[in-house]
Amino acid sequence: MRNPRHVAFAVVMLLFSFCLSNRAFAGFERRFLGTRALGASGALTAFGDGMWSFYFNPARTAEIDRIDAFYSPAIFGLQEIKSTGLSVGSNCFGINYVTAVHTFGFELYRETVLSLNLSIPVYDFLFLGSNANLNHLFIKDYGSGLALSIDAGGRAFVSENLVAGFSVTNLNSCSMTLSNDPLPQALAAGAAYVSEKLNVGLDYYKELGFPSAVRIAAEYSPFTFVTFRTGTASGGNSFNAGMTLRLSSFEVGYGGMFHRILGATHSFSISFDFGNDGNSEFGQIQKYRKSLKRR
């Protein structure tokens, strides 16, 4: 049995982080899922087609057959609070889809979200997508709640290297059974430069009821087998960084957020690409767009 003092301490620190951090890890807040998002400070509205990018923009712009799992063993250094996730993505009848599940919390408080993402190419340069999220909350000795939220987004290639994107979170203003307040609702818009070696993204993010933020991220791939990334957001007290190592169809990732007050959050991931053909993500996107033009 866990020490009750440790559990009480974790709860107090969780509430403390809610008050002090611009990225509050509580109450179905929009946290950074996956190592890439954590390393890039969530600036993935325009660029990024990894397995968890649908969480930041439901519109995917590449046909990627992949399975990905991540694990964050201690949020803000608190051993009691963990986050895990598993996602699977593919393409069926011209529709890109991802099914995913992620959890956050500990034995007394746990959030679980099951997501289905669908994304379709409207033209070879324009992609639209949507998420259906089944949100489940469990609080020991208090019960549980269930709510369905809908997200929507779009991405457009302004040129071969310039991408613009937007997303809307909780479009249907859903709330938990015992609360009249909706789950977090957010608007995001961004632009990015994408290429074989360098990606740079700039996002404007506004969660209703909270100050807006500007997020910026950069990724650099000096070699095909490794990518380094970093990101930050205005109004915050944290610095984010991470990397990805590739070996054929396998990828291993790390992402970290280093908060000046609350401590560090680390995330680790492993993924397998069933359709790996040696192309970079940028190469996969361009190949997919060319295939759309021939249809």
In single-letter form, the type of residue at position 240 comes to N
Quote the mean pLDDT of the chain. Answer: 87
Length of the chain: 295
Quick check: 204 and 212 in contact, CB under 8 A? yes
Label residue 267 left, alpha or beta by phi (over 0 means left) and psi (-120 to 50 means alpha).
beta
Q: What is the pLDDT of residue 77?
A: 84
* Kind of pairing between the strands at 162-169 and 186-194: antiparallel
pLDDT in tens, 49-92: 888 999 999 998 888 889 999 999 999 888 889 999 999 999 88
Q: CATH classification of 4-293, choosing from 2.40.160.40, 3.40.50.2020, 3.40.50.1110, 1.10.3720.10?
A: 2.40.160.40
In this prediction, residue 179 has a pLDDT band, given cuts at 50, 70 and 90, of: low
pLDDT at 17 over 80: no
Please tell me what DSSP assigns to residue 173: -
In single-letter form, the type of residue at position 278 comes to G
Quick check: 32 and 48 in contact, CB under 8 A? no
Q: What is the dihedral of CA 9, 268, 273, 41, to 10 degrees?
A: 80
* Residue 35 structure tokens: 């190592």
* Residue 22 structure tokens: 């611009």
Task: Please tell me the pTM assigned to this model.
Answer: 0.87
In this prediction, residue 168 has a pLDDT band, given cuts at 50, 70 and 90, of: very high
pLDDT in tens, 212-260: 999 999 999 999 899 999 999 998 778 899 999 999 889 999 999 998 8
Cα gap 198→89, rounded to integer Å: 24
